Amino acid sequence: MAEIIPLPTKARPSREPEPLWRDALGERLRRLRNERGERLADTADRAGVSPQYLSEIERGLKEPSSEMIAAVAGALEVTLIELTAGVVDDLRSRAAERAVVGCRATYALAA
């Protein structure tokens, strides 16, 4: 009887999952707030949300409505377009970093 020989499989480098929009948005909002030197409570007060809710948005735990995003953006004196463009830029730079790391891992496997 013939012996079954398994085919070799290619080892694929493990990739980090793509960040969620809410995570990237929260990081961008926190960065903008910190650049202004503001406390969470100050920004939350101007936006009309609780400090706890703003903290959850910044940590990516909440998926805020478009109205909430607009309120927080207004409190930070940025437009929705500026905020969205910044989040997109952050996501693109992360994707580029992951691509570079993926190429390095592929070259390491080939060597």
Q: Domain containing 43 — which CATH number?
A: 1.10.260.40
User: Is 103 within a domain?
Assistant: yes
Paired tokens of 17: 């999952």
Q: Which domain holds residue 85?
A: 21-110
pLDDT in tens, the chain (111 residues): 677 777 666 655 556 778 899 999 999 999 999 999 999 999 999 999 999 999 999 999 999 999 999 999 999 999 999 999 999 999 999 888 777 655 555 544 555
Using only C-alpha atoms, what is the Rg of the chain?
Answer: 21
Residue 15 lies in a domain: no
Domain count, the chain: 1
Identify whether the C-beta of residue 62 lies closer than 8 Å to the C-beta of residue 20.
Answer: no
82 assigned to some structural domain: yes
The pTM is what? 0.74
Q: Is residue 6 part of a domain?
A: no
31 found inside a domain = yes
Q: Say if 4 falls within a structural domain.
A: no
